[in-house]
Chain A
């Protein structure tokens, strides 16, 4: 009895400790941002350009780039994920489906640095040669590589959702004469649409938070992202470039604001994903 009580207390304490530490993160980010907020208001930080020589530390270019690369890679990845899920589902019993499934699962564990290096040595020269981008270090490269990074995540989650459909429903549709694509698009997808949406949102969160791909492949220029073939810096690589810098400088404090913005973006997405998942019937 006493042992049980002790165990419960330990569990409760651990949970409280963990939650408190997690809540401290946004608090610390806010506290360290204060010196910067005194110089540039929130509006300046969110909407103006990066120009330290004139005292403006606006992050708008980086925010735009983060959103563009996030959305672009999520769209491409989701489309491919649908195709892969289709193949895996309808070839579940034979070698094709199983191999593909195992391959995707293995891909999920590959560290992003591997994709970044592969991108640097294979994709960048290709894009430099065949696209308007002279260097190959541009938003398109980042979007393509990010699509690969988040593809396993989205595919696995969609597969899970599809596999949770009771086989009785699938059999019912098939016995009514539904062809494969009708089954997939008119029965299965609508049924699991909320879980699929949650999967896509999680993929978007991963894409926006990825640092290494953008750092290595985007060129990190300060100019606005005017086209897919221009180079531009996003929030995560901005943080990575400033971290070795001088802590006391005002510039340095922008990493806390940037991290705060990323936190807000991913939190909002997590809440959306949670709500979507909760409401599935």
Chain B
């Protein structure tokens, strides 16, 4: 009888001490590649842990981690002081990412000045032949309101200027890439880390978003990728954040074409 009781109490204690079996991550779409790779490695070491990674945009990531809906929120923009205060958030810089201006791979244009980019997005320049391309109307693509990529691009490249109301809206970095790859006259912006050969990344003022130029700051349209927790990370959340910041995690950051923070 006593043995049974001890066994039951022991099991209960173990049960209480056992950690949550699920880790939920959501937010910036630029982070997804890195998140999924790191999650894979951690799940391989902890088979009972289930990590889910979702997008939604930086705004969604910040709000959901603040409301406790997810454990880690990803943001591609700096957090506002009001956001940090309201939810008690702690942002961790996990990578440096530049935002590239992208066009169709067959476009004649390889370089634009910042002023030209601003005029195109404002709707003042409407034909590619005004900036050295073919005679074709420019289709401007922008991101949904939740996008941290868009917020950063608007602040640093467009200097908070107006975006033409004719701009088409897409809902993620991936969506942007698909649309630009399909439309010969398109111009858009996205996380440089997520670009590939299906789109062409422009140089701005003759400076290309290459690692060297990002690191020394000459390509100024760049931002940190943050992973945000509510309060001090504990348990599996701490494991994940530590993994992101470890040398292995930063190697994954580099592998995914971002720039490590360490």
- Give A contacts to B, CB under 8 Å: 53, 124-125, 128, 134-135, 137, 219-223, 230-231, 233, 241-242, 244-246, 251
**A221-B165 contact in complex given A125-B182, A135-B139, A241-B144, C-beta closer than 8 Å:** yes
| B174-208 vs A, Cβ < 8 Å mask (1 yes, 0 no) | 00000100110110000000000000000000000
Q: Which B residues are CB-close (under 8 A) to A230?
A: 166
Known: A221-B169, A245-B146. 7 other contacts (CB 8 A): A124-B182, A137-B179, A221-B168, A241-B171, A244-B57, A244-B60, A246-B63
Query: Could you pull out 27 A-B pairs where Cβ atoms are within 8 angstroms?
Result: A53-B162, A124-B182, A134-B136, A134-B137, A135-B179, A137-B179, A219-B168, A219-B169, A220-B168, A221-B165, A222-B165, A222-B166, A222-B167, A223-B165, A223-B166, A230-B166, A233-B169, A241-B145, A241-B171, A242-B145, A244-B56, A244-B60, A244-B146, A245-B59, A245-B145, A245-B146, A246-B59
Cα-based distance from A241 to B145 in the complex (angstroms): 8
Question: Nearest Cβ distance between residue B66 and chain A, in whole angstroms?
Answer: 11
A residues within 8 A CB of B139? 134-135
Shortest distance between the CB of B120 and any CB in chain A (Å): 14
**CB-based A-B contact count at 8 angstroms:** 53
- Give, as a whole number of angstroms, the nearest-CB distance from B79 to chain A: 13
Please give me the 4 A-B residue pairs with the lowest Cβ-Cβ distance, nearest first.
Answer: A220-B169, A219-B168, A222-B165, A223-B165
Residues of A within 8 A of B59 (CB): 244-246
User: A-contacting residues of B (Cβ < 8 Å)?
Assistant: 56-57, 59-60, 63, 136-137, 139, 144-146, 162, 165-169, 171, 179, 182-183, 185-186
How far is it, in angstroms, between the C-alpha of A221 and the C-alpha of B145 when the chains are bound? 13
Nearest Cβ in chain A — how far from B58, in angstroms? 11
B residues in contact with A223, CB < 8 Å: 165-166
Residues of B contacting A231 in the complex (Cβ-Cβ under 8 angstroms): 166, 168
Chain B residue at minimal CB-CB distance from A224 = B165
- On chain B, the residues within 8 Å of A242 by CB distance are 145
CB–CB B60/A241 < 8 A: no
Q: Is the CB of A221 within 8 A of B183?
A: no
Task: From A125, A137, A245, A251, give the contact of B168 (CB < 8 A).
Answer: A137
User: Which residues of chain A are within 8 angstroms of B137 by Cβ–Cβ distance?
Assistant: 134
Give the shortest distance, in Å, between A96 (CB) and chain B (any CB). 38
The residue in chain A whose Cβ has the minimal distance to the Cβ of B64 is A244
Contacts of A241 in B (CB 8 A): 144-145, 169, 171
Residue among B166, B171, B179, B185 making CB contact with A221, cutoff 8 Å: B166
Chain A: minimal CB distance from B209 (Å): 25
Q: Nearest CB to that of B185 among chain A residues?
A: A134
The smallest beta-carbon distance between A275 and chain B, in angstroms, is 39
Nearest chain-B residue to A252 (Cβ)?
B145
**Chain A residues positioned under 8 Å from B56 (CB to CB):** 244
A128: chain B residues at CB < 8 Å are: 182-183
- Which A residues are in CB contact (< 8 Å) with B145? 241-242, 245, 251
Contacts of B168 in A (CB 8 A): 135, 137, 219-221, 231
